[in-house]
Amino acid sequence: MSLKLFNTMTRQKEEFQPRESGKVAMYVCGPTTYNYFHAGNARMFVVFDMIRRYFIYKGFDVRYVQNFTDIDDKIIQRGNVEGMDPLALGQKYIDEYFKDAKELNLLPATVHPKATEHIPEMIEIIQGLIDSGLGYEVEGDVYFAVDHFPDYGKLSGRTLEDMKAGARVEVDERKRHPMDFALWKKAKPGEPAWESPWGEGRPGWHIECTAMSLKYLGAGFDIHGGGEDLSFPHHENEIAQTEGYLKGKTFARHWMHNAFLTINQEKMSKSLGNFFTIRELLVNSPGEVIRFYLLGTHYRSPLDFNDQNLIMAQKGLERLQTSVRLAQEALAREGSVKNDQGTLELSRASKEAREAFEKAMDDDFNSALAYAALFELAKTMNSFVQANPVPSEGLAEAQNTLVKLGDVLGFDLLHPAKIGVENNEILNEVMEVVLQIRSKSRQKKDWEMADFIRDGLKEKGIVIEDTPQGARWQIKR
């Protein structure tokens, strides 16, 4: 099956052609670690995690590199404000990143390189650029000479002429061209600094990605990803310095950028201050719900954030989880496992779901459309369970399919069905007794007591539902 993805470089969907058959090498720009990451950052992480998982599902061996920018102006600034060593601050938020990432079901990258651990590699590249006339040093700073790189602007579709017309750049007299950008920055007293041929300093922002992607993936790797706002200047500059350094060899084969998360139709960003950190959101919403919400819109469309949307996402995810739970319950029942009619029907529904899912995902990772395949399979399963008290082989297949496809998007649909059932023996026994008591009350038509038990448990986060086969319960946070 062919897989198409939108390449920012060519501005069109194109067939994915890996550098090496059966393998995918991708680099995703990670966070600058001076704070907890926010919902907008999370969108990027979740989107590329989904893309990675789908490649794995398709049978590719995926090498996924996501860096940490753990040294830059913002980190130094924040360190000063908090009275903390900038490098320690950077490390702190790297640790915090992993906590939130886990809640969002983000798979750890194959490699999570840190900028501060790749200074020698960066220095080597900067030196190479100077040697070939693409970089120049001025008083301890090193700049990249954009007008020496003919392709400058090819990713973002602008020319140096266009940008001159904009001219919102404050002119640094020492630069040869206003758009020249820093490869190396001279350290001010008290700032973290590394030795270099140009004196003490620290790397510019873009050079780290060049150094680390080349080190861990090599030239011409498959996918370079990030948020839309990175395409210019960050990725444009990366291309210039990397392809300049590689003497024109291609840096990355495909460039992918996700659209923004907005809030009140405005971009959520750290600079605007209109952001919610994932840490804050996790207080009220499980990470999976946030993830479900983020993948409910195609990654190249803007997505507006608000509480109502989050609630809708929660309901939707619960619907899929419920479906798995009901199937589990039905499969646990005694009885025939052979039901030709049902098996046939569910088997077909499973196949259709897989096909629809793959068709959606093959078309530039259309996770929003893929959701529909999951919902339709869930509905077929529910209908079957409703009509057939006897389990069927087909139901097991359908359930496995739903769980599997959910997993490709990063959802553990099976997990909620297991909470309380597997994890806590004592609770199970207590609940058995409680439900017996309530059952006796109901037999005596003591509705007041029955409702008192149900309402009381609900307050504690345990939901009871009555069925013809008896009451069931589940934990709901």
Partner RNA sequence: GGCGGCAUAGCCAAGUGGUAAGGCAGAGGUCUGCAAAACCUCUAUUCCUCAGUUCAAAUCUGAGUGCCGCCUCCA
CB of 20: closest distance to RNA in angstroms? 27
Q: How far is residue 278's CA from residue 106's CA, in Å, rounded to a whole number? A: 13
CB of 180: closest distance to RNA in angstroms? 11
The only residue of 271, 283, 422, 443 in contact with RNA, by rule CB under 7 A: 271
The only residue of 60, 371, 411, 473 in contact with RNA, by rule CB under 7 A: 371
Helix (H/G/I), strand (E/B), else coil: 389: coil
Question: x/- site string to RNA, residues 195 to 214, per CB under 7 A?
Answer: ----------x---------
CB of 271: closest distance to RNA in angstroms? 4
The only residue of 87, 160, 187, 372 in contact with RNA, by rule CB under 7 A: 372
The residue range among 216-224, 304-312, 334-342, 419-427 that interacts with RNA, by the rule CB under 7 A, is: 304-312
Residues 239-258 that bind RNA (CB under 7 A): 258
Q: How far is residue 383's CA from residue 119's CA, in Å, rounded to a whole number? A: 60
Q: How far is residue 303's CA from residue 217's CA, in Å, rounded to a whole number? A: 31
**Binding status of residue 385 toward RNA by CB under 7 A:** yes
Residue whose pair of structure tokens reads 């509480």 in the numeric block: 307
Residues 67-126 that bind RNA (CB under 7 A): 72-74
Residue (138 or 312) nearer to RNA, CB: 312
Q: How many residues does the chain have?
A: 477
Q: Would you state the torsion angle of the CA atoms of residues 264, 298, 354, 332, taken in this order, to the nearest 10 degrees?
A: -20
**Binding status of residue 376 toward RNA by CB under 7 A:** yes
Q: Is 317:292 a contact under the CB 8 Å cutoff? A: yes
- What are the Cα distances from residue 267, in Å, to 163, 183, 470? 23, 28, 50
The residue range among 210-218, 395-403, 419-427, 460-468 that interacts with RNA, by the rule CB under 7 A, is: 460-468
The only residue of 66, 116, 242, 269 in contact with RNA, by rule CB under 7 A: 269
Q: Is 136:130 a contact under the CB 8 Å cutoff? A: yes
Q: What is the DSSP letter of 348?
A: H
**Binding status of residue 447 toward RNA by CB under 7 A:** yes
Residue (10 or 132) nearer to RNA, CB: 10
Tokens of 107: 């798979």
Residues 44-63 that bind RNA (CB under 7 A): 44
Q: How far is residue 428's CA from residue 420's CA, in Å, rounded to a whole number? A: 7
How far from the centroid of its chain's Cα atoms is residue 188's Cα? 36
CB of 94: closest distance to RNA in angstroms? 14
Residues 17-46 that bind RNA (CB under 7 A): 29, 31-32, 38, 40-41, 43-44
Q: Which ranges of 246-366 does DSSP label H, i.e. alpha helix?
A: 278-281, 287-294, 307-331, 340-362
Question: Judged by CB under 7 A, how many residues of this single chain contact RNA?
Answer: 89
The only residue of 56, 187, 331, 369 in contact with RNA, by rule CB under 7 A: 369
Tokens of 412: 């553990």
Angle 174-180-182 from CA coordinates, rounded to 5°: 85
**Binding status of residue 311 toward RNA by CB under 7 A:** yes
**Binding status of residue 379 toward RNA by CB under 7 A:** yes
**Binding status of residue 267 toward RNA by CB under 7 A:** yes
**Binding status of residue 407 toward RNA by CB under 7 A:** no
Sheet containing 181-186: which strands, arranged edge to edge?
135-138, 141-144, 181-186, 201-203
The only residue of 116, 127, 241, 323 in contact with RNA, by rule CB under 7 A: 323
Residue (231 or 339) nearer to RNA, CB: 231
CB of 178: closest distance to RNA in angstroms? 8
List, in order, residues 6 or more apart from 472 with CB less than 8 Å away: 329, 464, 465
